[in-house]
Chains A and B, each alone.
Chain A
């Protein structure tokens, strides 16, 4: 895993010291709030509904065990004993005091972490597949490239005041697990004639104007990546609108100018700057790649694991739901669900973080990942160790066997925390999970992605949920719109709005009507909700939601 160079170390320490000075000047009155606000946002510090919130970057979702322990320490020392993992592979602390934040930033720097560029109109944390480096189906580990982009984009002088925030995601697998086409730039590692390169998408994004990213280049040679990215962001920096915040994202720039005009401008800029990249970046990439060398996997017999599958139904159910194929047959990728029924999606207590760190250290070569679906991933576990790992997770309340099921819900913090929210999302997620467990339909329903946002900004990715829920404020009352048929996978699809919204206490019954219709209409158990939706179209589901009367009207 990547370890800071002396340059990284000095830079992060310097930024920590600068931020301490900025906080002191704000408290002394030397800086006004208007002056301080952009400075604190550059360091991930928001002021939310009830408190400040610190958003800490987990670059490309990769964490070491000692880093996870430090997050637990921060949660206990300066917060309320827990942290919230987000869809952008960050962690948010919901209760820091302004006066404590400089100490928190120092504590992060002690384990090579920071909160730089987790907010503001800059290039944000580069996200990737949580299974990177471990997945059986990937062409290459995307994390070295993500780290190269991190180094290039951090404090990049040209890109500190973009028209709007800028998000890049990268996947090394054709089975996109990083929602790359819902990002400003999406990169897919591909191979052509034995050469590795990138398929480049641009202009994707959710929010109030959801758009699926369009292909800008079918194949970009590996060595051209940074100049090409620089050309894209430069083109956007000049062409992007600054007159209207809601039209400032690159998706609008691409949409208004057309993909062809945007491509032409990008290619022209690329041709201009390409010669100035003389290969230093590629030399750096090779050094970074060496640091992402795979662990020395220890071979282990799988008989004990197979025996446990036979005799322990609890273990079997967890293994069937939460494991993914590893590149080695005697290892597995474990997704640890942070979606226990009735709990807050994405939250982990300090104690749970320590258990995860210990498991990673003892069994998992010290590695952890945060998924964009707000779960924790142990990317490299020997199958032989899984029964012991499962037992340990069980004791920590971390063995919920629901990955990919109804209760594995993405939910933004919503109006329980967020100053921008128009309605709550967390309690909707909690009630959906507990209700469907109570009526015993979760396993029967099978694979399903429900995503909930508490405002139009769509942090909860509701547009790409098989069922999306959007909380709004309708005349001073919480109201929830339902979208159907979205998909975050390789065939990224924006869901369509089903119809009029529902009051807070009508949401769970509404979702139940949709899902009972699915159970009645599916071809067989093997046909998932989204497959049935694609086959049947929205009509039967709308009818289940609103009744025939409305269709006729």
Chain B
């Protein structure tokens, strides 16, 4: 019994800066979850993860995180991934800080 595949994005942390990045359809990395490639096919997901693992000089710890289609692009599903798109809740640091620049 295989479970139905749910959509994913490839995410990791940037090697130098340590911040959260997402893989785009072009295979580059973005800081914006909405610009990530929404992967809807399991086999394609495996290939994209392999591509990410092949860039150890750019990112650390890539993995597939659950996501869903939103009005402006992919949106995170789990609260942990929501926090990763934003930053901590006690200070306006992280991505939420860069957002208003």
List chain A positions with a Cβ less than 8 A from chain B.
26-27, 29, 32-33, 47-52, 80, 94-99, 344, 347, 415-417, 424, 426-427, 430, 473, 476-478
Contacts and interface: CB of A to CB of B under 8 A. Distances in A.
Contact of A98 (B18, B20, B84, B88): B18
Contacts, number: 75
B54 to A, nearest CB: 12
Contact of A477 (B79, B89, B91, B94): B79
Contacts of B87: 50
10 contacts: A33-B61, A47-B18, A50-B87, A50-B93, A51-B13, A95-B93, A99-B16, A415-B79, A426-B89, A426-B90
B35 interface: no
A32 B18 CA distance: 16
Contacts of A52: 18
A122 B37 CA distance: 41
B18 A417 contact: no
Contact of A344 (B17, B84, B90): B90
Given A51-B18, A424-B89, 15 more contacts: A32-B56, A33-B60, A47-B61, A49-B80, A49-B84, A51-B19, A51-B94, A80-B91, A98-B15, A98-B17, A344-B91, A347-B90, A415-B79, A416-B90, A427-B89
Interface residues of B, number: 25
B28 to A, nearest CB: 19
B57 interface: yes
Contact of B57 (A29, A50, A95, A416): A29
Nearest to A421: B80
A98 B95 CA distance: 18
Given A98-B18, A99-B16, A29 B56 contact: yes
Q: Which of B17, B84, B88 has the most CB of A within 10 A?
A: B88
B3 interface: no
B5 interface: no
A415 B87 CA distance: 10
Contacts of A426: 88-90
Nearest to B57: A29
A49 B90 CA distance: 14
B100 interface: no
Given A33-B60, A98-B18, A99-B16, A478 B79 contact: yes
A50 B84 contact: yes
Contacts of A427: 89-90
Contact of A27 (B15, B18, B84, B89): B15
A430 B89 CA distance: 11
Contacts of A415: 79-80, 83
A416 B83 contact: yes
Nearest to B88: A416
A80 B77 CA distance: 29
Nearest to A52: B18
Contacts of B15: 26-27, 98
B4 interface: no
Contacts of B17: 51, 97-98
B93 A80 contact: yes
A100 B69 CA distance: 37
Nearest to A49: B84
B16 A98 contact: yes
A344 B89 CA distance: 10
B78 interface: yes
Q: Which of A96, A417, A430 has the most CB of B within 10 A?
A: A417
Given A47-B13, A97-B17, A430 B61 contact: no
B43 to A, nearest CB: 25
Contacts of A47: 13, 18, 60-61
Contacts of A99: 16
B90 A430 contact: yes
Contacts of A417: 88
Contacts of A477: 79
Contact of A50 (B16, B19, B56, B78): B19
Contacts of A478: 79
Q: Which of B60, B78, B89, B90 has the most CB of A within 10 A?
A: B90
A203 B15 CA distance: 37
Nearest to B77: A476
A344 B92 CA distance: 13
Given A416-B90, A426-B88, A49 B56 contact: no
B96 to A, nearest CB: 10
Nearest to A427: B89
Q: Which of A27, A51, A98 has the most CB of B within 10 A?
A: A51
Contacts of B78: 476
A424 to B, nearest CB: 6
Given A32-B56, A97-B17, A49 B83 contact: yes
Contacts of A49: 20, 80, 83-84
A361 B90 CA distance: 31
A99 B18 CA distance: 10
A427 B56 CA distance: 35
A50 B20 contact: yes
B69 to A, nearest CB: 18
Interface string B20-60: 10000000000000000000000000000000000011001
